[in-house]
Amino acid sequence: MKKIVHILIFTLLLSNTDCLVAQVEPEDVALDKNEFEESYYESLIQKGIENYDKAIISLEKCLKTQPDNAVIYHELGKNYFFKKDYSNAEASYLKATQLDTKNKWYLIGLYDVYYETKNYNQAVLIAQKIIPFDKKYREDLVSLYIYTQQNDKALVLINELDQDVGNSEMRDRYKLEILSQNKKQLFGKNELEKAIEKAPLIEENYLSLIYLYSDNNEEEKARQIAEKLQKNIPTSDWAHVFLFKYHINENRAENASKSLDIVLNSNKIDKKIKFKMYNEFLIFVLKNPAYETHLNKATYYFENDSEFNVYKEVGKFYYKKNNWELAIKNLEKAKDIDLETNVFLLASYEEIKDFEKLQKTASNLIDIYPNQPEYYFFAGKASKELKKYKIAMDFLESGLEFVVENVNLEIDFLNQLTQTATATGNNKKAGEYSEKAKNLKKTKK
């Protein structure tokens, strides 16, 4: 019985190129001849199972019947692209765009080739052709202008996008880099000073001059410009980015905290800058614990941030500084708890000798992660310290079985087993564990 092939009809797309408002990617096309249909259908099946060579053979059969079918060239381009044959992918997509100049999907295919091969100059040209059909590619074009050092064009497009769709962190960063670079190239310090006097409300002039002084290690002059920026443009968030550093260096905690708060709540400052400032304040508070409440206020800003597990990072920071209580306080709040977080938390319990809490927490973690040896180690050690030797032996012997290619951890297990066996008077068992530990240590040398 002959196959029934269900094919999405693209007659409107192929015959009326003015209908471009809601173009659909031409995955399938209406075909007239059975042989053509079978070959095209077969190519889709082979592409679906990633057998791109066979898909290409089937598509080439289609071209024998319809050598000027743009859809077939587009499909060829896809298959060549998937197999990383970018030269043939480019040739196929180019042919498709020549046969149908107004189909955005053919242009996007060609764009992907140029972007993947880092041929950014060509990618710029294609992105410009796509934009009339899909304005989202204006964002791509900004980055391409930056890559190709067409900063003037990038700046014009950034301003257009800011007006049309609002600011974004990436575009703000690009804009600052461009303006800073342009000012450094076009003006010296004196020119920028004069520009500020002439037009005191243009923020970019201050920023460029601050960078210029900082690059030349003229920190005091950079500071003076930052203060002038704050005075002349009180709403400038960037003034606080620079002033924060000076507040920290001079132990002016209240001012530093205020600047940090303004920056953290600004939608103009890149998140990486916020992370950096937060970490600097964290170090400051460690030396000045009286300002911990200020740190807690800043910490709340990142509480629900998916990119920055703030309580984990703060907890690790305090752990490395031997401040176990604060390490525990923060690690217990950490979200998306992983092995690293749990190990730091368990180790902190061990440091303050809270073996009841250590045993309970580690035991609960074993119930959730029964194959993780570190949790057995802490549960066993805590049980040993609590003189629950049978429970300790069970934890340690079970956990040892899950240790794989970690000699140090295996030695730690064996040492704990030696101590536990000794405590129960089982000297024979203790000797066996001790000997195994000694032999493993020899393999490390």
Question: pLDDT, tens digit, for every residue of 275-297?
Answer: 889 989 988 888 888 888 888 88
How many Å apart are CA 54 and CA 97, to the nearest integer?
A: 24
- 117-124 CB contacts, 8 Å cutoff, 24+ apart: 117/86, 120/144, 120/147, 120/148, 121/148, 124/148, 124/150
Residue 336 pLDDT class (50, 70, 90 cuts): low
Residue 17 pLDDT class (50, 70, 90 cuts): very low
CA 430 to the chain's CA centroid: 49
Read off the pLDDT of each residue in 33-53 and give the average, rounded to a whole number.
85
In this predicted model, which residue has the larger pLDDT, 29 or 77?
A: 77
What per-residue confidence (pLDDT) applies to 192?
Answer: 77
Question: Burial letters for 224-238: b for 16+ Cβ neighbours within 10 Å, e otherwise?
Answer: ebbebbbeebeebbb
CB-CB neighbours of 13 under 10 Å: 21
Residue 14: pLDDT above 70?
A: no
In this predicted model, which residue has the larger pLDDT, 256 or 177?
A: 256
Among 85-89, 105-109, 163-167, which stretch is predicted with the lowest mean pLDDT?
A: 163-167
Q: Please name the amino acid found at residue 32.
A: D
Residue 231: pLDDT above 90?
A: yes
Tell me, yes or no, if the two domains 11-119 and 353-445 fold the same way: yes
Residue 229: pLDDT above 70?
A: yes
Does domain 11-119 sit in CATH 1.25.40.10? yes
Residue 159: pLDDT above 80?
A: no
Read off the pLDDT of each residue in 300-326 and give the average, rounded to a whole number.
84
Q: What is the pLDDT of residues 369-398, one digit of tens each?
A: 999 999 999 999 999 999 999 999 999 999
- Phi, psi for residue 301 in degrees, rounded to 5: -60, -40
Residue 324: pLDDT above 80?
A: yes
Alpha-helix runs per DSSP H in 233-291: 237-249, 253-264, 271-287
Contact, 369 vs 375, CB < 8 A?
Answer: yes
Contact, 112 vs 78, CB < 8 A?
Answer: no
Tokens matching residue 48: 């679906």
What per-residue confidence (pLDDT) applies to 214?
Answer: 80
Residue 424: pLDDT above 60?
A: yes
> Which residues are CB-neighbours of 287 under 8 A, at least 6 positions away?
none
Q: What is the pLDDT of residues 214-224, one digit of tens each?
A: 877 888 998 99
What per-residue confidence (pLDDT) applies to 102?
Answer: 86
Q: Is the pTM of this model over 0.75?
A: no
Domain coordinates of the chain in residue numbers?
Answer: 11-119, 135-222, 353-445
> Which residues are CB-neighbours of 223 under 8 A, at least 6 positions away?
242, 243, 246
Instruction: Of 17-31, 48-62, 194-208, give the range with the top mean pLDDT.
Output: 48-62
What per-residue confidence (pLDDT) applies to 154?
Answer: 82
The DSSP line for 34-52 is HHHHHHHHHHHHHHHTT-H
How many Å apart are CA 317 and CA 178, to the nearest integer?
A: 35
In this predicted model, which residue has the larger pLDDT, 90 or 170?
A: 90
Read off the pLDDT of each residue in 404-430 and give the average, rounded to a whole number.
91
Tokens matching residue 254: 């209240």
Contact, 243 vs 230, CB < 8 A?
Answer: yes
What per-residue confidence (pLDDT) applies to 216?
Answer: 76
Q: Of 341, 330, 259, nearest to 296 (Cα)?
A: 330
The CATH fold of domain 353-445: 1.25.40
